[in-house]
A = this chain, B = another copy of it.
Amino acid sequence: MGTIRLYKRDRIDRVIRLDTNLINEVEGAFTDLTTKQVMMPPIMRIDVPQNNGEVDIKSAYIEGLDSFAVKLSSGFFDNPKRGLPSANGMMILLSAVTGEPLAIFADNGLLTDLRTAAAGAVAARSLSREDSRVAGVIGTGSQARYQIEALMNVRDIQKVYVYGRSIEKADQYKRDIESRFTIPVEVKQTAKEVVQGSDLVITTTPATDPVIHQDWIHPGLHITAMGSDAEHKQELDAKVLEAADLFVCDVVEQSLRLGELRSCANDQVRSSAIELGEITSERKNGRSDPNQITICDLTGTGAQDTAIARYVYQLLDTKEDEGHERS
């Protein structure tokens, strides 16, 4: 039997960076989804109605890899009343050779946050104009922060526009980003101003009604919509999808069920939707003209979880050896 190890969030946080190495690993997961046999069973969901909670379980085994992840992610929406975050989670890395559990990452959702942000950077690298300088963010939560951090690895961002329903949270976002990075953040009064002034826009909201409308968008714009991941959520008006030159998503079936395609009845849009892995594997083109309007809708995949779990396991292994050297 191998030795299973438990790694907690602070330990993981010390070794992992939201850098191009991680972005490349997550890009590899999208490429695998297109080019390899992937076993990705439907999400398992356990509801705990008494406590306004739910646990989702995701997994994906990618042909040929020697390990794969099982992820538990929970949302318990009464937690804030107890002073706890709603979201929690953990990942388990299993050997794909023997089935043995190799590692447990009790990360409280950190790896999910990072792989989601890395996917945003993959989308921006494939679809946004290379000369994008102004990034717009709609939403002011942790993903709004991670997405900008990831994006700066792939685009030379000079300015950020942000809009959130709470002006206090938008101001806090501005302070956090400006103190951490050397770029100015401007809080806008409306989502419309963010979209109109940006080269690329990231939506990171739990919205159930569109937060971007068709008459705000302009040639050359790229939008990454990463908020919608459930049957009742929507960030983009269907007319935005109709107006785009290229609609991309992580998994078409998931976008139709949980993402932006769900709210767009236009058959032309639905049938021409392509997957991000088709672009990263160079089977299809990403942006081919600076004036194209492009969209990427991300609902989240078990393949990303497997990619980041394998990556952090390798990092921890390396850093541990270094630790031994030093001590």
Contact = CB atoms under 8 A, between A and B. Distances in A.
Contacts of A47: 39, 61
A160 interface: no
A194 to B, nearest CB: 33
5 contacts: A46-B70, A53-B99, A76-B98, A76-B99, A79-B98
A324 interface: no
Contacts of A70: 46, 55, 57, 72
Closest 6 CB pairs of A and B: A74-B99, A76-B99, A6-B6, A44-B44, A4-B106, A88-B99
Interface string A62-90: 01100010101011100100101000101
Interface residues of A, number: 44
Interface of A: 1, 4, 6, 8, 39, 41-42, 44-48, 50-51, 53, 55, 57, 59-61, 63-64, 68, 70, 72, 74-76, 79, 82, 84, 88, 90, 92, 94, 96-101, 104, 106, 108
A94 B106 CA distance: 12
A79 B99 contact: yes
Contact of A41 (B45, B61, B92, B108): B45
A42 B44 CA distance: 8
A250 B96 CA distance: 31
